[in-house]
Every structure is written in C-alpha cells, then in structure tokens.
Structure 1
Amino acid sequence: MAVYSKILLAVDLSEESDQLIEKTRTIATNNQAQLTVIHVIEPLSFAYGGDVPMDLTTVQNQLDEHARSKLALFCEKLGYPVESQQVLTGHTESEIHRVAEENGCDLIVVGSHGRHGLALLLGSTANSVLHGAPCDVLAIRIYEPKD
C-alpha cells in the first residue's frame, strides 16, 4: 500500500526549483502516486494594492504565458508522469490549499529557503502552506547559489 497516492508539488519556477526534482520524483515513484504540479502567480494588482490607474491584463497574460512555458520545461525535467500542470493566479497559500483539497492530495511538496531573522518573522510560503493544509506537507530545503 502506498503512503501517498496523490502528490501536489508547488513550485516558484526559480532556478532553485530544480532542487525539488529528485526528491519529488523518488517519493512519487516509490508510492506510484499521481502528481500534480502547480505554480501560483500573485496578481499584479496585489503588488500595487489594487490602486493601479491602468489595465494590467496584457502584462498579466504575458506573465501567465511565460510561467506556462517554464512549468512545461520543469515538468519535462521531472522525468515522472505529471497528471496535471497548472498556472494559477491568486494568493499562493490559498491556491495551494484549494488545489490540494479539490484533488484529494495527501502530500504537498514545497521548497523552503530556510529564512531567518526578519524574513522569518514576515513568514514564508512553506510555513503558510503548512498551517491550514488539508494533508501532510513536505518542505524541502532550497539552497541559494553561492556567489
């Protein structure tokens, strides 16, 4: 019997996201799990507090299209069948929780940058996903490239 049958991998599509590939593939393979991979884009209006005097639809569409291309490449690198890959727009943590619940996922995998100090006080995506998740959460340590 598999421990995890439906896994949700949430990626930020940074270069460091590739660090999630091997562990996610191993867990999915060992459990013969269905794998869903998502990337969440926060709407540009969130960044500007909703008070933007212009239409950002075109820019948002370009961001979405670019993210779809990067996500497709990421999924190819995974080397594991991906049941669904999605680029979503909204609050990152809320969208991850929603997709996990809708798909009946029993594991969410996210990267954790291991922030400390002020960044820790402000919270991280991995920490926010953990609190309120409908299932287990695996936060894989992401190492920043050394200059």
Structure 2
Amino acid sequence: MSYQHILLAVDLTDESAQVAEKAVSLAKQGATKLSLIHVIEPLSFAYGGDVPMDLSAIQEQLDEHAQQRLSNFGNTLDYSVEKLYVVSGHTESEIHRVAKQDSVDLIVVGSHGRHGLALLLGSTANGVLHGASCDVLAVRVSDKKSD
C-alpha cells in the first residue's frame, strides 16, 4: 500500500530517530509527503490550571526551543520534509487534528516496550491509534543500552 502523506509524531528524544527511520523508509517507497509533529503539553496541564503566576513567557520559550529542535531533527532526515508542526495541547488530540486538517493517511508514532497491560502499546501510541481517522503505525523503539 502506498501512502500520500505521512505524519511522523516525535517526542524529540534519542529514540525519535528509530521511528523516523521507518517513516522515511515508507515515504521513499511511494514518493510520499512527510510532515513532522511534536506536541508540547502546556505547563498549565501539569498543575491543573491552578498556577499562581503567568507561565506564558516560559511556555513561549519552550515552544521556540521545540521548534528549533524539530527543525534540526527534520534536517537530519534523508528525506524532504513537507511541514513541521509544534503544537500545544493534549498529544493524541493534536496529532488527530493535524492529521485530519492535512489529509494525512498514515500517522507514524513510537511505542515503548512495557510490562503488564501496556505491553502492546505505550499510552500515547494507544491514544493515537484509538482516535485516528487514518492508518497508524506504531514503531517499536528499543532502549539501545539493553540491545
């Protein structure tokens, strides 16, 4: 199956390269558009909105830093990137929103190996899978120290 537009969701950790490798490989097979997304959960989420100070300046710095890191990450890929998205909000819903907005037909996301109930997918990958209106590929990422 050939996809027209792949959305690669990355958390910008070292493991993002493993996920990107799979997305780029798929994109090359069909000369597919590739876009990147990184979602920042707003600081107010961490504190339940009950923060006695204005966090907007700090949030803006986090956004700018993430934009630079995502741009740098995109430049390391062996493939041309169509669009870069740094968005704030709940990770799964923002990935779904951008995928729908841009007519994405495949979302690629990393999944950590877990124990117990989360063995199949990590919580983010599971959330993306269950609300997506397109195909989702969860790429198993491994901790390089244990491999």
Q: Percent of pairs identical after alignment?
A: 63
- List gaps (5 residues or longer) in structure 2: none
Structure 2 matches for 1:1-147, cutoff 5 A? Answer: 3-117=2-116, 124-146=123-145
Point out where structure 1 has 5 or more consecutive residues left out of the alignment. Answer: none
Given that residues 74 and 81 in structure 2 are in contact (C-alpha distance below 8 angstroms), is that contact kept between their aligned partners in structure 1? yes
What CA distance in whole angstroms lies between the structure 2 residues aligned with 1:118 and 1:46? 25
CA distance in 1, matches of 2:85, 2:77: 15
Tell me which amino acid in the other structure corresponds to 2:37: I
Counterpart residue identity of residue 19, structure 1: Q
Q: Which amino acid aligns with 1:33?
A: T
Secondary structure of 2:38's partner? strand
Gap change, CA 1:119 and 1:136, over 3 Å in 2:
closer
Q: Distance in 1 between matches of 2:118 and 2:28?
A: 34
Report the Cα offset of residue 145 of structure 1: 3.4
Structure 1 stretches of at least 4 aligned residues deviating more than 4 Å after TM superposition: none
Residues 16-47 of structure 1 deviation map (CA, whole Å, 9 limit, x = unaligned): 11112221111001011111101000000001
Per the normalisation by structure 2, the TM-score is 0.92
After superposition, the CA RMSD in angstroms is: 1.7
Number of aligned pairs? Answer: 145
Structure 1: how far apart are the matches of 2:17 and 2:65?
17
8 Å contact from structure 1 (residues 21, 77) kept in 2: no
Structure 1 letter corresponding to 2:26: I
1:119 deviation in Å? Answer: 5.5
- CA distance, structure 2, for counterparts of residue 49 and residue 140 of structure 1: 31
Q: Which AA in structure 1 matches 2:105?
A: D
2:2–2:29 CA contact under 8 A, matched in 1:
no
- Which TM-score applies when normalising by structure 1? 0.92
Deviation at 1:118, TM superposition (A): 6.6
